Amino acid sequence: MSKKLSSFVLISWLLIPKLVLAANTWSDPSGDDPAKFSDIEVIFSNVIGVLIPFAGVAIFIMILIGGFKYLTSAGDPKATASAGQTITWAIVGLLFLIGAWLVLVFIKQITGIDVTLFEVPKN
């Protein structure tokens, strides 16, 4: 139990600065002005700004876990296969993230529209 708790505390400690830095000012810094529909850009940008690094950290941790499982398998074929699957799926996830980004960049190159930015049209 303490191993899970210490892992949770470490990951939380590493992610707290990202969450704090994700805070952005609304249209009125005092907070008196209610949020408008155009403020969804800020929310979306902040959420993506936290999720992308989190995905990278998760992939890195999964590769580390797979490597640790491989090192501690002691020649057991099932444990070695499990470690290989963990590493394989982590790399597949990384390739999926890179592929999704490349598709967005490709769309930008073909159409000239930057689909990597989220903007609400303003009147």
Q: Is residue 44 part of a domain?
A: no
Residues of the chain with pLDDT > 90: what percent? Answer: 32
Q: Would you place residue 84 in the very low, low, confident or very high pLDDT band (cuts 50, 70, 90)?
A: very high
- The confidence score (pLDDT) of residue 7 equals 76
Q: Would you place residue 3 in the very low, low, confident or very high pLDDT band (cuts 50, 70, 90)?
A: confident
Higher pLDDT, 98 or 24: 98
Q: Within the chain, how many helices (H) and strands (E) appear?
A: 3, 0
- What's the number of domains the chain is made of? 1
In whole angstroms, give the CA distance from residue 72 to residue 1.
Answer: 20
pTM of this prediction?
A: 0.60
Across 18-32, average pLDDT: 55
In whole angstroms, give the CA distance from residue 1 to residue 79.
Answer: 22
* DSSP E strand stretches across the chain: none
Residue 73's domain comprises 56-123
Q: Is residue 33 part of a domain?
A: no
115 has pLDDT over 70: yes
Q: Is residue 89 part of a domain?
A: yes
Q: Is residue 11 part of a domain?
A: no
List of long-range contacts for 88-97, beta carbons under 8 Å, 24+ apart:
89/62, 90/59, 90/62, 90/63, 90/66, 91/63, 93/55, 93/58, 93/59, 93/62, 94/59, 97/55, 97/56, 97/59
- The confidence score (pLDDT) of residue 101 equals 85
